[in-house]
Amino acid sequence: MSAKTSFSCRSIVKGHVEGEAIVSREAMCFYLCDPETGEVIEKNHPLKGRSIAKKILVLQSGKGSSVVQVDGFYQLSVKGNLPAGIIVREIEPVLVSAAVVMETPMVDRLQADPFEVIVDGDWVEIDAETETVTVTKRGRDE
Amino acid sequence: MQLTDEEKRMLDGGSGRGVQRAMELLVALGKSFDAERMIPILRTHVALSGQEGDTYWCRLLVEGGATCKVPPTTNPSWDVKGLTKHYEVTESELELGLQTIEVYRKIGAKLTFCCTPGLGTNVPAFGEHVAFSESSATPYVNAVLGARSNRESSCSALASAVTGVTPLYGYHFESNRGGTMLVDIEARPKDAYDWGILGYFIGRFAGSRIPVLSFRHMENRPTPEELLYLGAEMATSGSVAMYHIVGVTPEAPTAAAAFRGKAPEFTLPVLPRHLKEQEEQISEKGGRINLVMLGCPHYTYDQLRELACLLEGRTVHRDVAFWVLTSFDAIELARRSGHLETIERAGCRLVADTCIDEPCWKSFEGGLGVTDSPKCMYYRERRGQPFVIRRLSDCVEAAVRGEI
């Protein structure tokens, strides 16, 4: 059985996307992802070795210089390995710029703490038009 | 957000797709930070990089018919004409370098290719609202000049250049410019190098806070270069875009004024040993070197003059390339004043329009370099070249000996 819950959010970059959730409790610099695979390559990052490609990324925040963040988004985009959409916990100007430039749907201000209500593997739908995030829990873990 | 009719027209595509994309970015930013409206600006600085993502955005705007309402000064990428004679670059790296120049020329940027606009080519006035990207330039114009800029990305600064506006939030408001942490400094930085190390140390603890530096001892007012290095390094180890120095920077005549009457979140003490420890923590130990690289941020004329004095009568070791990255106008002044000849006679070379973080420097990767800039070390390391960090006079000695 799968439980479906919807939350309101705020749209930053428009779009309607869905995918499997991957949660990053730490900020990310997208320059430190392998564009070929979408894998995080940053030393000591909790997501190191895992791919963010085509997923719904639940992200604490962005980090890194303005230039490299945008280039990171660009390189991932060229290879088709950007996340499908991003739910941000703490918005940050450079991250906003990068998402707008590469037209990656992005929302913030989820009605509930996204780290509490979304875990890796959940199916998440972002509708940035209606400002709604819908989370479908997997039937059972493992 | 409340937009004017003109801003709405831009957002709706009435001024073309390029302007529309630029306005969409600024509206998204404004919305993210609850800005109520835009504010007109007359100056911007774009942290052009010559990286594909950056050039892509500029090309997108150009192809959408946009040109700059407010021509921005620009960061360096690399001297495509000069450096390809010296070093191997691939066809695609050269192509990207040329394309970057072309799209920025087409959009109507002022092609200064220099990362220190606040010291010469683009100097805002006190209280002026601006949109400055480049992590070392933003704290300089905010803190030292008292202009008002948020921490902009190269993309948002270019969007402001195209539209002539920036969202009104953050550091544009007087009430958001007060200090949030106190730095109680017992150390006595004596040159730009020390100020850089101090900045790197503070940035590690500051994150994006606004540090208020209070010196127990200060004999002389810091020079523009010293302040530039301080800000550049606080924005490397942290993401500081605004700071105060009590009795020095214009919004901090007193500590109380710097904090706008509020209490600091915490106090960071800085003892003389902290600077030495910071240097040891980030610098490589030493050995044979293949490169001495200065000018991150770009060296000013005064620094070139100091360099010329140190190089007088010396000869750079044959195994060492000694490059100093600087601005076109500083090179011209050095030429006129005779220092360029002294520098070149010693075997040291100046190059304008160029950043340390570019593909033209890859032939040195794998070897050990020497620099006076922690920021240079930080960005070069990612490309595979470790650096020893020392003050200018030691860098010159290392260049002559071929080792450190």
pLDDT at B384: 84
pLDDT computed for residue B87 by the predictor: 87
Among A91, A98, A101, select the one facing B32 at the smallest CB separation. A91
pLDDT of A44: 82
Out of B24, B29, B155, the one facing A70 most closely (by C-beta) is B155
Verify whether the Cβ–Cβ distance B53 to A73 is below 8 Å: yes
Cβ atoms A67, A88 nearer than 8 A: no
Q: Could you give the ipTM of this predicted complex? A: 0.90
Q: What is the pLDDT of residue A139?
A: 59
pLDDT of residue A43: 79
Nearest to B294 by CA among B280, B281, B308: B308
- Distant-in-sequence contacts of A22-25, Cβ < 8 A, 24+ apart: A22/A47, A22/A50, A22/A51, A22/A52, A22/A55, A22/A56, A22/A57, A22/A58, A22/A83, A22/A120, A23/A58, A23/A114, A23/A115, A23/A118, A23/A119, A23/A120, A24/A52, A24/A57, A24/A58, A24/A59, A24/A60, A25/A60, A25/A115
- The two three-digit tokens of residue B395, written as one number: 């860098």
pLDDT (0 to 100) of residue A67: 79
User: Does residue B80 share a domain with residue B165?
Assistant: yes
The answer to whether residues B107 and B254 belong to one domain is no
- Let me know: does B240 contact B210? Beta carbons within 8 Å: yes
Q: Which domain holds residue B310?
A: 284-401
Domain match, B223 and B300 both: no
**Residue type at B15 in one-letter notation:** S
Q: Are B185 and B270 in contact (CB under 8 A)?
A: yes
Measured between alpha carbons, how far is B20 from B12 in angstroms, rounded to an integer? 7
* Per-residue pLDDT tens listing for chain B (404 residues): 999 999 999 999 999 999 999 999 999 999 999 999 999 999 999 999 999 999 999 999 999 999 999 999 999 999 998 888 888 889 999 999 999 999 999 999 999 999 999 999 999 999 999 999 999 999 999 999 999 999 999 999 999 999 999 999 999 999 999 999 999 999 999 999 999 999 999 999 998 899 999 999 998 999 999 999 999 999 998 889 999 999 999 999 999 999 999 999 999 999 999 999 999 999 999 999 999 999 999 999 999 999 999 999 999 999 999 999 999 999 999 999 999 999 999 999 999 999 999 989 988 988 999 999 999 998 888 788 999 999 999 999 999 999 99
CB contact under 8 A, B28 and A100: yes
Query: Which of B221, B249, B280 is at the close of a domain?
Result: B280
* Catalytic residue list of A: 65
Q: Are residues B119 and B210 in the same domain?
A: no
B148 lies in the same domain as B192: no
Q: Which of B233, B248, B280 is the last residue of a domain?
A: B280
Instruction: Kindly provide the b/e burial profile for residues B327-360, where b requires at least 16 CB atoms within 10 angstroms of the residue's own CB.
Output: bbebbebbeeeebbebbeebbbebbbbbbbbbbb
Q: What is the CATH number for B85?
A: 3.30.499
Question: Are B244 and B222 in the same domain?
Answer: yes
Per CB-CB distance under 8 Å, the chain B contacts of A67 are: 47, 49, 51, 53-54, 153-154
Q: Which amino acid is at A48?
A: K
- What is the domain count for chain B? 3
Q: What is the CATH number of the domain that holds B337?
A: 3.30.499.10
Residues B245 and B371 in one domain: no
The predicted pLDDT at position B259 comes to: 98
d(CA B229, CA B396): 19
For B199, the 3-state DSSP assignment is: helix
Number of Cβ pairs closer than 8 Å across A and B?
Answer: 82
pLDDT at A142 over 50: no
Which residue's structure tokens are 């991150």? B296
Tell whether B80 and B115 lie within a shared domain. yes
Query: Which of B316, B325, B391, B313 lies closest to B356 in space, CA to CA?
Result: B325
Contact B154 A13 (CB under 8 A): no
B137 and B275 share one domain:
no
With a pLDDT cut of 70, the percent of chain A lying above it is 96
> Could you give the CA distance from residue A118 to residue A22 in angstroms, rounded to a whole number?
9
Q: How confident is the model at residue A140 (pLDDT cuts 50, 70, 90)?
A: low
What's the rounded mean pLDDT across residues A101-105?
Answer: 96
pLDDT for A112 equals 97
On whether both B118 and B18 belong to a single domain, the answer is yes
**Whole-number Å distance between alpha carbons of B151 and B139:** 9
Yes or no, beta carbons of A74 and B153 under 8 Å apart: no
What is the identity of the amino acid at B117? P
Closest among B111, B34, B45, B51 to B72, alpha carbons compared: B45
pLDDT tens digits, residue range A33-92?
999 999 999 878 899 999 999 999 999 999 877 778 899 999 999 999 999 999 999 999
B interface residues, A as partner, C-beta within 8 Å: 24-25, 28-29, 31-33, 47, 49, 51-54, 56-57, 60, 133, 135, 150-156, 239
Q: Which ranges constitute the DSSP H helices of B348-391?
A: 374-381
Strand ordering across the sheet containing B321-326: B348-352, B321-326, B291-299, B369-371, B387-389
Task: Select from B28, B54, B239 the Cβ nearest to the Cβ of A70.
Answer: B54
Characterize the bridge pairing of strands A4-8 and A132-136. antiparallel
Digit-coded pLDDT (tens) for B238-268:
889 999 999 999 999 999 999 999 999 999 9
Does one domain contain both B246 and B324?
no
Q: Kindly list the residues from chain A whose CB atom is less than 8 angstroms away from the CB atom of residue B53.
A: 67, 70-75, 98, 101
CA-nearest of B39, B177, B46 to B109 is B46
B209-239 pLDDT tens trace: 999 999 999 989 999 999 999 999 999 988 8
Domains defined for chain A, CATH in brackets: 4-136 (3.50.30.10)
Given an 8 Å threshold on Cβ–Cβ distance, is B28 in contact with A74? Answer: no
Taking an 8 Å cut-off on Cβ atoms, the answer to whether A70 and B57 are in contact is: yes
| Residue A20 C-alpha, separation from nearest chain B C-alpha, in angstroms | 25
Q: Are B211 and B245 in contact (CB under 8 A)?
A: no
Residue among B57, B74, B92, B155 with most chain A CBs within 10 A, to mutate: B155
Comparing CB atoms, the residue among B29, B52, B56 nearest residue A96 is B29
Do B197 and B141 share a domain, yes or no? no
> Hey, what's the torsion of the CAs at B65, B71, B74, B80, to 10 degrees?
60
Q: Which of B105, B140, B174 is the last residue of a domain?
A: B174
